[in-house]
Amino acid sequence: MSSAPAPAPKPRSRVPKTVWDLIFTLVIPILILSPNLLGDGIGVASVLGEGQTGNIRAYLLAALIPVVYVLWDIVVNRNVSPVALIGGAGAIFSGALAFWYVDGFWYAIKDSARSYLVGLAFLLSALTSVPLFRVFLDAASIGEAPEERALTQRALRDPALHRGLVAGTVIFALVDILGGIVNSVVNYQRVTAKFGTDAFNAQIAEVNAIMRVPSMAISFLGIFAAIYFVQKAVKARFGADASVFETAQLAQKVREEDARQREA
């Protein structure tokens, strides 16, 4: 009598990317900035040097690790989508600003500079033929066949959809700028120590922990509000059953419209 085959080994569960994002962009920087990571005033700064030198090195390390992580993710995963490239450019910009040694008001502005820059870029793009919020929708159709993708692009260039994309881009930009203002106010109120001190690094770590959830909530609010205006335009143009999330469906709507025009 033959024995039953051994069950196949279960595949190892992979750590979700969101977890890695939190580890490298929030948890590790906070630990590096903490002056009491190992207790009794011993932290990463004390290992990297004495006094101000160690604190500045710890500050730079905490600021640059998220930058390296984002760029590593783009290179290793070969993620060259417009969304990823915008994120990479923002990460490089934030990394460069880390070398601007300021505190008080200017630090509060610097910590939100990325939000201000992205918001301004999106506002200016709303005046062009390619509103930047469209890059999020373009990314959804990357995996389509060339013919389907071309039809989807035609749908997004439709004047009615363009107006929805402009409205969505403006809303997204304004909410992003609002998030930057909120972050600046919190930083100005809480990061009051002088640059290069233990207290300065500790206050930055505290604000980073406090602001992560509110910042994410504001970002999602901007995205959802922008999608609402685009979705409204899609339904008004292609029917109540059309959806901005169904790019293949949009392509089919364009194909059906072309067929009706040929028959007319």
Chain centre to alpha carbon of residue 115 = 10
197 pLDDT above the threshold of 90: yes
Integer Cα distance of 82 and 60 in angstroms: 28
Q: What is the pLDDT of residue 238?
A: 85
Amino acid (1-letter code) at residue 44 = V
Q: Which two tokens stand for residue 116?
A: 């201000």
Across 217-236, average pLDDT: 91
- Residue 148: name the closest of 32, 47, 60, 249 by CA: 249
Question: Could you tell me where the DSSP H helices lie in 141-197?
Answer: 146-157, 159-190
Across 130-142, average pLDDT: 77
Mean pLDDT of the chain: 85
Q: Which residue has the higher pLDDT, 67 or 260?
A: 67
Integer Cα distance of 219 and 178 in angstroms: 10
Counting other chains too, the contacts that 144-147 makes at CB distance below 8 Å and 24 or more residues apart are: 144/247, 144/248, 144/251
Q: Which residue has the higher pLDDT, 43 or 114?
A: 114
Q: Which residue has the higher pLDDT, 17 or 79?
A: 17
DSSP 36: T
Q: How many other C-beta atoms can be found within 10 angstroms of the C-beta atom of residue 132?
A: 21
Across 23-28, average pLDDT: 90
Domain ranges of the chain: 15-99, 102-191+204-264
Residue 192: band (very low, low, confident or very high) from pLDDT cuts 50, 70, 90: very high
Chain centre to alpha carbon of residue 34 = 25
Least confident of 65-74, 86-95, 96-105, 239-248: 239-248
Q: Which residue has the higher pLDDT, 256 or 120?
A: 120
4 pLDDT above the threshold of 70: no
Q: What is the pLDDT of residue 1?
A: 44
Q: What is the pLDDT of residue 185?
A: 97
Integer Cα distance of 42 and 186 in angstroms: 27
Measured at the CA of 175, the angle between CA 227 and CA 217, to 5 degrees, comes to 80
Q: What is the pLDDT of residue 2?
A: 46
Integer Cα distance of 51 and 45 in angstroms: 8
Percent over 90 (pLDDT), the chain: 47
Location of structure tokens 């990357």: 142
Q: Which two tokens stand for residue 248?
A: 């293949």
Measured at the CA of 110, the angle between CA 106 and CA 18, to 5 degrees, comes to 150
Residues 242, 249 contacting (CB under 8 angstroms): yes
Q: How many other C-beta atoms can be found within 10 angstroms of the C-beta atom of residue 85?
A: 13
Across 124-150, average pLDDT: 79
DSSP 194-261: PTTSHHHHHHHHHHHHHHHHHHHHHHHHHHHHHHHHHHHHHHHHH-TT--TT-HHHHHHHHHHHHHHH
